């Protein structure tokens, strides 16, 4: 069995708190979603699926030349759980595991994702989850045996509930970069400054 999971990038939200599509804002000249998807492709190649919803046309156009597949969740307004369920349902029948990554996790690097894959090691009964702010969260790798639980989520529930419920089967990977959000105008200002300082090679040291 391959030790590399299929990556699901959840990018369907309307970014109401930010006031503009967060997936399309540019950081060091690159759209945020392009940064996230490029990192996912660096880890999983063509085994990347991006779930879009709001502003689907613009995002599909943005990723037209990416190896990643793009699928449109018509029910994105139901909340994040809807996109997660839609993404899980779209996975190939032979898919043994899925890495869930948010479309605004621009600070998470390809190296971060590779560390997560290395920690998981392709174990069918284990989940590898990032740890930040003293909690487990995504990015996280879910083996097939958890797909039914992910598919039962509703509303704006993310995958964290499934992680906490399966606490006994978690492999924890410290990932400070995963704590950095792109939700508000203030977040955008801070991230813009960080990317400018790094001259398009953004990286944050683990703490």
Q: In this structure, what CATH number is given to the domain that contains residue 186?
A: 3.90.550.10
Q: Look at residue 207 and tell me if it is in a domain.
A: no
DSSP state of 79: -
Q: pLDDT tens-digit profile of 164-177?
A: 999 999 999 999 99
More confident residue, 84 or 203: 84
Quote the percentage of the chain above a pLDDT of 90: 74
Query: What is the percent of the chain with per-residue pLDDT over 70, rounded to a whole number?
Result: 94
pLDDT band at 155 (very low <50, low <70, confident <90, very high): confident
Q: What is the pLDDT of residues 126-145, one digit of tens each?
A: 999 999 999 999 999 999 99
pTM flag (> 0.75): yes
Domain that holds residue 92: 6-197
Residue 88 lies in a domain: yes
Does the structure show a pLDDT above 50 at 200?
no
Per-residue pLDDT at 194 exceeds 90 = no
Q: Which two tokens stand for residue 98?
A: 């899925």
- Shortest CA distance to 106 belongs to which of 38, 207, 185? 38
In a domain, 202, yes or no: no
Q: Per the domain annotation, does 206 fall within a domain? A: no
Consecutive H or E run containing 96? none
- The total of structural domains in the chain comes to 1
Residue 205 is assigned to a structural domain of this protein: no
What is the chain's mean pLDDT, rounded? 90
Give pLDDT, residue 9.
98
- Say if 13 falls within a structural domain: yes
How many Å apart are CA 193 and CA 106, to the nearest integer? 13
């Amino acid at each position: 069995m391959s030790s590399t999971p299929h990556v699901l990038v959840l990018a369907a939200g309307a970014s109401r708190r930010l006031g503009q599509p967060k997936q399309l804002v540019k950081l060091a000249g690159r759209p945020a979603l392009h940064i996230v998807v490029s990192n996912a492709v660096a880890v999983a190649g063509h085994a990347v699926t991006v779930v879009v919803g709001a502003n689907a046309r613009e995002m599909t156009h943005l990723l037209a030349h990416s190896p990643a597949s793009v699928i449109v969740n018509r029910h994105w307004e139901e909340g994040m759980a809807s996109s997660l369920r839609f993404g899980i349902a779209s996975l190939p029948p032979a898919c043994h595991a899925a890495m869930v990554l948010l479309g605004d996790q621009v600070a998470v690097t390809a190296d971060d994702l590779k560390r997560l894959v290395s920690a998981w090691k392709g174990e069918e009964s284990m989940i590898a989850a990032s740890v930040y702010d003293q909690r487990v969260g995504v990015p996280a790798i879910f083996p097939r045996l958890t797909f039914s639980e992910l598919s039962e989520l509703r509303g704006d529930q993310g995958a964290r509930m499934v992680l906490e419920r399966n606490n006994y089967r978690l492999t924890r990977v410290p990932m400070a970069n995963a704590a950095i959000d792109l939700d508000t105008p203030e977040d955008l200002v801070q991230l813009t400054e960080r990317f400018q300082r790094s001259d398009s090679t953004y990286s944050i040291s683990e703490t």
